[in-house]
Amino acid sequence: MRYLLDTNIFIYLSTDHDKLDPNVFSILSEPETLMYISAESVRELIIAYNNKGWGNKKWKTAEDMVRSIEKTHFVEILPIAKDVMQTYSRLSVNKVMNHKDPSDHVIISHAMTLGMPLISSDTRFPYYTRQGLKLIFNEK
């Protein structure tokens, strides 16, 4: 089965397995599971590395971190294609929870466009299931 990982799930997968719900950890540990991450998440990870120092103890450079996503963690990076942007343009955002994060919206749109379940810990994401998002929620 194919799964799109939200940025927070990749962080937990690469640095802190204890923050993964046992059910999510089980899914990610299955040999037949194929894991993917949006290029938008990779952009967020690079920003976190450069601005907040996240991952500085694990990788020497942001480029090393990007390389390790596929080479060490076996998570394929997906480019953001035009059809993802078309989904993004139609997405109705969660105004009730003041969800204004455009990166989240791109990641959600990526999952919806590809029909892939998105694994996330973000409590604002269940709102998007009524628009077609397949969500696997990680209880921290």
pLDDT value at position 70?
97
Averaged pLDDT score across all residues of the chain: 95
62, 101 Cβ separation under 8 angstroms? no
* pLDDT tens, position by position, 6-36: 999 999 999 899 999 999 999 999 999 999 9
CATH homologous superfamily of 2-137: 5'-nuclease (3.40.50.1010)
Per-residue pLDDT tens digits for 36-45: 999 999 999 9
Question: So what's the pLDDT on residue 57?
Answer: 82
Tell me the two tokens of residue 38: 């949006």
pLDDT value of position 133: 98
Its pTM stands at 0.95
pLDDT in tens, 104-130: 999 999 999 999 999 999 999 999 999
Q: In the chain, where does DSSP find H-type helix?
A: 7-15, 22-29, 39-47, 62-71, 82-90, 102-114
Where are the chain's structural domains? 2-137
Pairing mode, if any, of strands 34-38 and 2-5? Answer: parallel
